[in-house]
């Protein structure tokens, strides 16, 4: 039976019309489907003992000092609605929308509250029940967020003329003159986020053989924005895997992980994308499905509990196979790096890698093995840079505050290179660095590891005179 037929047979055996109905063991709120909190894991509300130990790890609390903009306050707001003690007011809604869903509070919480299982379904319900005209007819959300970003080919096509203008230096001239800010609202923000032009390189082939002794057989997840904007990172990653004895398969038919849809009020669209990935990856053929961007990895690892229909066991099996590439290589035992990389670097934790996936020490352990690399610990490394998926488009003020805070912390290390393993963080920090005219290099850790294996030197950028002063470089 081919993959599509196999999948269709599962669908007919398990109708998928009961989306978001948690099973009784999830102990969800019993107050009815009309309650915005009907889909949350109610037991997580009960776990919170209001100790407040999470507040100092919350970026929006740190910036505003307002309890309602911290995890404990937000949990309390959700509980008030869940228990039917109040309807959701605009003010409450604002406090919840300001949350980055970075999940730093989960890492900090000694009671093990899984905050993501509260805020995510609650916000999905808010979105789904939002009947305001401006929401229904939000062309940016429908046209760009839901129908452009998650499709790498469409995004590449749209980016092509922009890349041409970038190569001709027209975009940087427009940026220098501040004209990008004249573009309306989120479109202007989006234009400022575009990465510097690099040659994307060809599409990854279906198979890349291991170099030397074969140690593993892995499938590689390419995603959407990551493939359209950071394909060189994908090439660097698969080369590192090959050097580590991995046969790398890149299954066709895979696509976006579904996170953009899930976090922008279209959980059914997210499920459709997730199920396409389930069809594309033949689980029994691989030791692991590897991901190199934190946001995609977190979403794939949670396929088992976003939807609760008859296909849930298949999604859970898929999720069990997913590994972040640093986590995987750290467990496998990395083949010694060859070339020296004589630069100073600092590592920023992507929220969805460190807090949602709890992968924090593996990237640092790998990087520490690169000969010559001076790895400096970043103050507040686990505090969000303000990217937060599409948060930088929807909450621009808070996003800017956080990215400036991040840049100040980066500059305090004196490092020449910033490393981070997530497309959103790369875009956000690159933009901040570009706007400040700094010569800081913003890279994915796999790119540095690849350079070392290939014995190549890292070309450092020169910043503007203003940027050099900020970095104390003569």
Interacting residue ranges for ligand SF4, rule: CB under 6 A: 48-54, 57-60, 71-72, 74-75, 99-105, 108-109, 111, 113, 115
Q: CA end-to-end span of the chain, whole Å?
A: 66
Complete DSSP assignment for 290-314: EE-SHHHHHHHHTHHHH--STTHHH
Q: How far is CA 402 from CA 58, 100, 175, 176, 209, in A?
A: 11, 11, 21, 22, 42
Which one, of 287, 310, 142, 148, lies nearest residue 229 by Cα?
A: 148
Identify the residue whose tokens are 């696509």: 255
Query: What minimum distance in Å lies between the beta carbon of 389 and ligand SF4?
Result: 12
Which one, of 324, 332, 389, 321, lies nearest residue 363 by Cα?
A: 324
Query: What minimum distance in Å lies between the beta carbon of 156 and ligand SF4?
Result: 31
Measured from the CB atom, is 341 or 393 closer to ligand SF4? 393
Measured from the CB atom, is 98 or 341 closer to ligand SF4? 98
Complete DSSP assignment for 359-414: --HHHHHHHHTSTT-EEEPPTTTTS--S-TTTHHHHSHHHHHHHHHHHHHHHHHHT
Query: What minimum distance in Å lies between the beta carbon of 385 and ligand SF4?
Result: 12
Query: What minimum distance in Å lies between the beta carbon of 206 and ligand SF4?
Result: 38
Measured from the CB atom, is 38 or 45 closer to ligand SF4? 45
Measured from the CB atom, is 60 or 264 closer to ligand SF4? 60
Which one, of 196, 195, 191, lies nearest residue 140 by Cα?
A: 191
Strand (E) positions, 109-261? Answer: 207-208, 216-220, 246-249
Query: What minimum distance in Å lies between the beta carbon of 221 and ligand SF4?
Result: 24
Measured from the CB atom, is 53 or 80 closer to ligand SF4? 53
Measured from the CB atom, is 395 or 450 closer to ligand SF4? 395
d(CA 272, CA 305): 15
Cα angle 426, 431, 432 (rounded to 5 degrees) comes to 105
Q: Which two tokens stand for residue 207?
A: 């198979």
Query: What minimum distance in Å lies between the beta carbon of 101 and ligand SF4?
Result: 5
Measured from the CB atom, is 104 or 148 closer to ligand SF4? 104
d(CA 3, CA 277): 11
Which one, of 280, 283, 353, lies nearest residue 318 by Cα?
A: 283
β-bridge partners, 375: 345
Measured from the CB atom, is 71 or 200 closer to ligand SF4? 71
Query: What minimum distance in Å lies between the beta carbon of 381 and ligand SF4?
Result: 14
Query: What minimum distance in Å lies between the beta carbon of 108 and ligand SF4?
Result: 6
Bridge-based pairing state of the strands 246-249 and 207-208: antiparallel
Query: What minimum distance in Å lies between the beta carbon of 258 and ligand SF4?
Result: 19
Measured from the CB atom, is 101 or 450 closer to ligand SF4? 101
Which one, of 54, 85, 84, 247, lies nearest residue 74 by Cα?
A: 54
User: What number of other Cβ atoms are within 10 A of residue 404's Cβ?
Assistant: 15
* Coil vs helix vs strand at 29: coil
Measured from the CB atom, is 53 or 436 closer to ligand SF4? 53
User: What number of other Cβ atoms are within 10 A of residue 255's Cβ?
Assistant: 20
Measured from the CB atom, is 46 or 368 closer to ligand SF4? 46
* Coil vs helix vs strand at 95: helix
Query: What minimum distance in Å lies between the beta carbon of 384 and ligand SF4?
Result: 7
Query: What minimum distance in Å lies between the beta carbon of 112 and ligand SF4?
Result: 8
Q: Which two tokens stand for residue 137?
A: 């007819």
Measured from the CB atom, is 73 or 363 closer to ligand SF4? 73
Query: What minimum distance in Å lies between the beta carbon of 69 and ligand SF4?
Result: 8
């Amino acid at each position: 039976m081919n993959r599509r037929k196999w999948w269709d047979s599962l669908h007919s055996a398990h109708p998928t019309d009961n989306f978001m109905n948690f099973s009784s063991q999830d102990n969800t709120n019993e107050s009815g489907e009309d309650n915005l909190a009907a889909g949350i894991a109610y037991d997580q509300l009960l776990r919170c003992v209001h100790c407040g130990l999470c507040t100092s790890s919350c970026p929006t609390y740190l910036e505003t000092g307002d309890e309602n903009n911290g995890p404990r306050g937000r949990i309390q707001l959700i509980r008030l609605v869940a228990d039917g003690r109040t309807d959701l007011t605009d003010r409450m809604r604002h406090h919840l929308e300001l949350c980055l869903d970075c999940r730093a509070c989960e890492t900090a919480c000694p009671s093990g509250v899984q905050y993501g299982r509260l805020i995510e379904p609650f916000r999905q319900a808010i979105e789904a029940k939002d009947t305001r005209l401006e929401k229904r007819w939000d062309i940016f959300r429908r046209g760009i967020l839901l129908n452009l970003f998650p499709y790498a080919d469409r995004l590449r096509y749209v980016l092509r003329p922009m890349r041409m203008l970038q190569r001709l230096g027209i975009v940087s001239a427009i940026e220098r003159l501040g004209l990008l800010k004249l573009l309306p609202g989120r479109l202007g923000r989006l234009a400022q986020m575009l990465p510097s032009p690099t040659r994307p390189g060809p599409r990854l082939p279906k198979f890349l053989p291991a170099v030397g002794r074969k140690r593993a057989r892995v499938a590689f997840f390419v995603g959407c924005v990551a493939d359209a904007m950071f394909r060189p990172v994908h090439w660097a990653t698969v080369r590192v895997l090959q050097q580590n004895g991995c046969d790398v398969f890149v299954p066709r038919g895979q696509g976006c992980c579904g996170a953009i849809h899930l976090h922008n009020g279209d959980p059914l669209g997210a499920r459709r994308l997730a199920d396409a990935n389930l069809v594309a990856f033949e689980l029994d053929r691989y030791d692991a499905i590897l991901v190199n961007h934190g946001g995609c990895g977190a979403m794939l690892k949670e396929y088992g509990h976003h939807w609760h229909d008859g296909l849930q066991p298949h999604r859970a099996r898929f999720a069990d196979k997913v590994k972040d590439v640093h986590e995987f290589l750290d467990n496998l035992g990395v083949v010694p790096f060859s070339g020296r990389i004589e630069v100073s670097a600092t590592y920023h934790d992507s929220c969805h890698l460190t807090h949602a996936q709890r992968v924090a020490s593996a990237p640092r352990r790998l990087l520490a093995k690169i000969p010559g690399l001076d790895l400096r610990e970043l103050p507040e490394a686990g505090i969000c840079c303000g990217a937060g998926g599409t948060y930088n488009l929807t909450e621009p003020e808070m996003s800017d505050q956080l990215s400036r805070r991040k840049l100040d912390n980066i500059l305090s290390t004196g490092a020449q290179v910033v490393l981070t393993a997530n497309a959103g963080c790369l875009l956000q920090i690159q933009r901040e660095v570009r706007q400040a005219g700094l010569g800081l290099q913003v890279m994915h850790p796999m790119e540095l590891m690849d350079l070392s294996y290939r014995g190549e030197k890292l070309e450092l950028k020169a910043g503007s005179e203003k940027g050099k002063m900020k970095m104390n470089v003569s």
